[in-house]
Amino acid sequence: MEKIIIFDTTLRDGEQAPGASLNPQQKLEIAFSLEKLGVDVIEAGFPISSKGDFAAVQAIARTIKLPVICGLARAIKKDIDAAVEATKLARRPRIHVFLATSKIHMQYKLKKAEGEIIRLAVESVSYAKKFCSDIEFSPEDATRTQKDFLFQVIEAVIKAGATTVNIPDTVGYTEPEEYGRLVRAIKENVPNIDKAVISVHCHNDLGLAVANSLSAIKNGARQVECTINGIGERAGNASLEEIVMSIDTRKDIYSGLKTGINKKNIYKASRLVSKLTGFVVAPNKAIVGGNAFRHESGIHQDGVLKERSTYEIIRGEDVGFLVEGMVLGKHSGRHAFNERLKKIGFHLNKDQVDKAFDRFKDLSDKKKDIFDDDLRAIVDDEIRVAKPIWKLNSFEINSGTKIKPKAQVVLIKGGKNISEVSSGDGPVDACFKALDKITNFKAQLEDFRLEAVTSGKDALGQVSLKLKASGLIVSGRGSSTDIVEAAVKAYIDAVNKLETK
């Protein structure tokens, strides 16, 4: 069986989606989940882009043992230096250099001619090769690049030391048959292509990212760049779970090919990424959506009861789509709590465990049955902001059908309590307006979602929202058995992110 290399870029391209900002601790949690999932390469970030991203890549390189840890860099020495420094502690580091090659990018963005592009590509790969043996090169916007020039660039960077050449469909422009032909043409027209792995990186602007990636595999690509839940720039990237399960399910089409993904961890990884980014998984999302393995039609229900394969080509349990029963209660101890967190994918330091345990005890007094999803929500609250600027002290609301809702909110900043009162269209709106007064942020609410973490009248409610201020969009999340409190926590979470931008 020939292995398809799964290159996960959730922590780099996925995090570039507006509002998907992650702190270093959250990135590390996702990296642990990706390691358990069995991905071959983790693109941990773009080290030169910020101090936080550099720190996250460095922490992942130091901690994660099995996958290749990759850092992205432009074809600029300072970018490459940052990527080298951030990944040097990895057991298997990789430097990923990119440079645009399409006419539109060369003319309007780079303002450089073809000869200069080839020179820069070769120089950057040669420079990176001095520090790292595993070099990937991406001719950005490859699908809109003239083929003969693309072949020249690929041949030149392989000669300079690139071990992987990635063919990005940067703007999601191509379509499956066309993309497959391009990959085949590269194999036939680049003399030294046998010295490098062909990789593909597809965006979903026309909804074809997965189809394009699979077409490339059929035509000789052996690495696929993808993200959990398909998150990423604009309309997103190719979805890891859809690519993996397509190869696994259609063995007749992808004969002799396999991935190293532990399928039973797909659902856990999906939900972790969803919670930490604030991007809710659509119910009809393939493989991991809430309705993916549910049947309402009487005809479908009858068929599934008689023979499951009549309407299910994938079993939910194969991808970990199972809701675990109650695992802890109010009498559970700290050790059992911590062991359960490790089992569901969290690796916290002592201070974080202590804070999460206190939250767990508070919740167990309000809610009899504690499920794994409750624990995920608790931990998500505790690890989201390492040192929050604003913290909730208390809030009170006065609301009803015949009175104008009013809220008093007290926040803590620098050890001092700051209080404001405001009215609004409802209790949540009143709280948000009071928060605006306290924090002096004039933020616009872009999105607001409330969902029950588990079932039952005492279910933990989780609010996910997005705020826009000064051209930035950030996400916030909060959970509580009180949905107003959950909304307030989510708003404060987003404001803390805006404060640190």
Q: Mind listing the pLDDT tens digit for each residue in 150-159?
A: 999 999 999 9
Distance CA 59, CA 437 (A): 37
Over residues 45-52, mean pLDDT = 95
Of 222-231, 434-443, 448-457, minimum mean pLDDT range: 448-457
| pLDDT tens digits, 473-499 | 888 888 888 999 999 999 998 998 888
More confident call, 304 vs 392: 392
- In the chain, pLDDT over 90 holds for what percent of residues? 66
Domain spans, the chain: 2-277, 293-322, 334-383, 391-500
Pick the CATH number of 391-500 from 3.40.50.720, 3.30.160.270, 3.30.70.1400, 2.40.40.20: 3.30.160.270
Q: What is the pLDDT of residue 55?
A: 95
Q: Which residues contact 229 (CB under 8 A, 6 or more apart)?
A: 239, 241, 270, 273, 274, 279, 281, 285, 288
Over residues 189-205, mean pLDDT = 98
CATH topology of domain 2-277: TIM Barrel (3.20.20)
Distance CA 337, CA 353 (A): 9
Residue 198 above 60 pLDDT?
yes
Distance CA 281, CA 287 (A): 11
Closest CA to 232 of 165, 171, 317, 282: 171
Closest CA to 475 of 24, 30, 19: 19
Q: What is the pLDDT of residue 325?
A: 47
Closest CA to 345 of 61, 35, 2, 104: 35
Distance CA 451, CA 479 (A): 10
Q: Which two tokens stand for residue 168?
A: 């990005």
Of 71-75, 235-239, 489-493, minimum mean pLDDT range: 489-493
Over residues 237-256, mean pLDDT = 97
Distance CA 283, CA 332 (A): 33
Q: How far is CA 252 from the centre of its chain?
A: 31
Decide: 406 and 421 in contact? Cβ < 8 Å: yes
Q: Which residues contact 404 (CB under 8 A, 6 or more apart)?
A: 423
The amino acid present at 265, given as its one-letter code, is: N
**220 φψ region: left (φ > 0), alpha (ψ -120 to 50), beta (else):** left
Q: Which residues contact 498 (CB under 8 A, 6 or more apart)?
A: 441, 443, 467, 469, 470, 472, 474
DSSP 154-221: HHHHHHHT-SEEEEEETTS---HHHHHHHHHHHHHH-TTGGGSEEEEEEB-TTS-HHHHHHHHHHTT-
Q: Which residues contact 238 (CB under 8 A, 6 or more apart)?
A: 201, 202, 203, 204, 209, 210, 212, 213, 224, 225, 226, 227, 230
What interhelical angle do 24-37 and 51-63 show, nearest 10? 40
The Cβ of residue 93 has, within 10 Å, a number of other Cβ atoms equal to 22
Residue 357 above 50 pLDDT?
yes
Decide: 95 and 73 in contact? Cβ < 8 Å: yes
CA angle 74, 77, 83 (to 5 degrees): 65
What interhelical angle do 266-277 and 24-37 show, nearest 10? 170
Residues constituting the chain: 501
Over residues 52-63, mean pLDDT = 96
Over residues 306-319, mean pLDDT = 82
Average pLDDT, the chain: 91
Over residues 327-353, mean pLDDT = 79
| pLDDT tens digits, 451-469 | 887 767 777 888 989 898 8
Q: What is the pLDDT of residue 438?
A: 96
Q: Does this chain's domain 2-277 share its CATH topology with 391-500?
A: no
Residue 348 above 50 pLDDT?
yes
Over residues 328-335, mean pLDDT = 76
The Cβ of residue 491 has, within 10 Å, a number of other Cβ atoms equal to 28
Residue 315 above 70 pLDDT?
yes
Burial degree of 318 (CB within 10 A; 0-12, 13-18, 19+): middle
Upper half-sphere CA count for residue 351 (Cβ side, 13 Å)? 3
pLDDT band for 341, please (50, 70, 90 cuts). confident
pLDDT band for 295, please (50, 70, 90 cuts). low
Q: Which of 81-90, 328-337, 346-355, 492-501 tops mean pLDDT?
A: 81-90
Distance CA 255, CA 258 (A): 9
Over residues 348-352, mean pLDDT = 84
Q: Is the dihedral of CA 264, 265, 269, 271 positive or negative?
A: positive
Over residues 15-34, mean pLDDT = 89
Residue 51 above 60 pLDDT?
yes
